[in-house]
Structure 1
Amino acid sequence: MNSAADQPGHLLIFAREPVLGRVKTRLAAGIGAEAALATYRELLTLTARAIAAAGVPATVWLAEEPVPPCELAQFRPEWPGLPWRVQPPAESLGARMAHAFSAAFAAGAGQAVIIGTDCPGLSAKLLQRAFELLLSHDVVLGPAADGGYYLLGMNKLEPELFANKDWSTATVLPDTLADAVRLGLRVAQLPTLHDVDSAEDLAIWRMGE
């Protein structure tokens, strides 16, 4: 049987269409919908650059069907040449992520790493490091400063890491780590980074540029 090291890794990108009023609603509450959309496009571009530089096969998982329906490359310059799929209408973020991992492993991936598009500090080096760590660990996590995570990687689907979580709260990371310990999984952590979800987050990012 081939090990994860002998099989290709795959990157899963959870993203939304950059459509006014449908992205960054928490941020929009503080800076307005137009400015929030511009910020989201900026985050998409930064994420796409990191992915391209990392050189890892990737799939974009859109939160909903594109409007109007068309090929990703036709009006998504952030993701040139990347295949895309639509996240299933599952009840929770965890269920949707588990579905994406399951699809990657079913397609032959030996390692899979999932990211969002909210973390301006995510780099090609960190993405590559995540896959390297999966050669000696079962799970890799990129902690977010708000108590969640900006990256999760694994060598096989661990469904319990997606169950019984209060998504988008500060309990997600500690609860995930607790589940990993209970399951006896070897966990590696990347450096903590800031997501940009609110006006306060945006100010922190801009001050650090």
Structure 2
Amino acid sequence: MTAVLVIAKAPVAGRAKTRLHGPYTPAEAAALAEAALADTLATVAALPAARRILVLDGEPGPWLPGGFEVTAQRGGGLDERIAAAFAHCPGPSLLIGMDTPQLAHAHLAGVFAPGAWTRHDAYLGPAADGGFWALALARATPALLLGVPMSTATTGREQRARLLRHGLSVGDLPELRDVDTAADVGPVAALAPGGRFAALARELGERG
């Protein structure tokens, strides 16, 4: 079975979702981050996963459901933190972030389908901004991850190229939109109107 890693920052005002500041106050941005994280964790909790691990920068709070292991993020850059997260799972594992509260089981069907790991060695979910929202590996090694430039418009493409250079077969997951700025809040909320993130976005009003 596949383990699932969620890499996240604790939703603390002034530290979480700081790119939302301006249109949203630090407290509102943190509340949106908490809602996005809660929606993500709820989806992961319902997956047929071997393990569920929250790789956290910060301390867990009441938003954390049962059934998750919690471990601290290690490393400096995001590539190092992702590599360290994968080190917790020697077998097939899927890593996702907290920026896609619209995440649904259907988006991950390829990874959890019967025979998924006989068809491909890796799966990549591209983000609309050029990054990636999901990365699944049959067997992770630091060489697949370290040194890939993160948080750029070409991160997803460069991560895919790294996997291919190491001889991996890469399956595609659907493209999703991250919540990075205020302009992303409304469109992402509209994709999952029943979630906590969408409810809070409606309460706060459109500000993008």
TM-score range, shorter chain: 0.7 to 0.9
Q: Is 1:151 the counterpart of 2:134 in the alignment?
A: yes
Counterpart in the other structure of 1:171: 154
Q: Distance in 2 between matches of 1:77 and 1:33?
A: 18
Deviation, 1:154, is 0.5
Runs of 4 or more, structure 1, over 6 Å off, are none
- In 2, are the aligned partners of 1:142 and 1:149 still within 8 Å (CA)? yes
Q: Verify the 8 A CA contact 1:54 1:125 in the aligned structure 2.
A: no
Structure 1 residue 97: Cα displacement: 1.1
Q: Is it true that 1:97 corresponds to 2:82 in the alignment?
A: yes
2:48 aligned with 1:55: yes
Structure 1 position 146, deviation (Å): 0.6
- After TM superposition, the structure 1 = structure 2 runs for residues 111-190 of structure 1, keeping only pairs within 5 Å, are 111-132=92-113, 133-190=116-173
The CA RMSD over aligned residues, in Å, is 1.8
TM-score by length of 2: 0.83
Taking the aligned partners of 2:102 and 2:118, their CA distance within structure 1 comes to 24
Q: How many residues align?
A: 189
Deviation at 1:170, TM superposition (A): 1.1
1:139 Cα deviation from its structure 2 partner: 0.7
1:55 offset after TM fit, Å?
A: 3.1
1:150 is displaced (CA, Å) by 0.6
Question: 2:87 aligns to what SS in structure 1?
Answer: helix
Structure 1 segment 69-84 matched on structure 2, within 5 A: 72=60, 75-84=61-70
The one-letter code of the counterpart of 2:143 is E
Map Cα deviations across residues 21-68 of structure 1 (whole Å, 9 max, x no partner): 11001112432212211211211121122112213120111113x2xx
Q: Percent identity?
A: 33
Alignment-mate amino acid for residue 2 of structure 2: G
Alpha-carbon shift at residue 201 of structure 1 (Å): 1.1
Query: Match for residue 21 of structure 1?
Result: 14
Gaps of at least 5 residues in structure 1 are: 1-7, 67-71
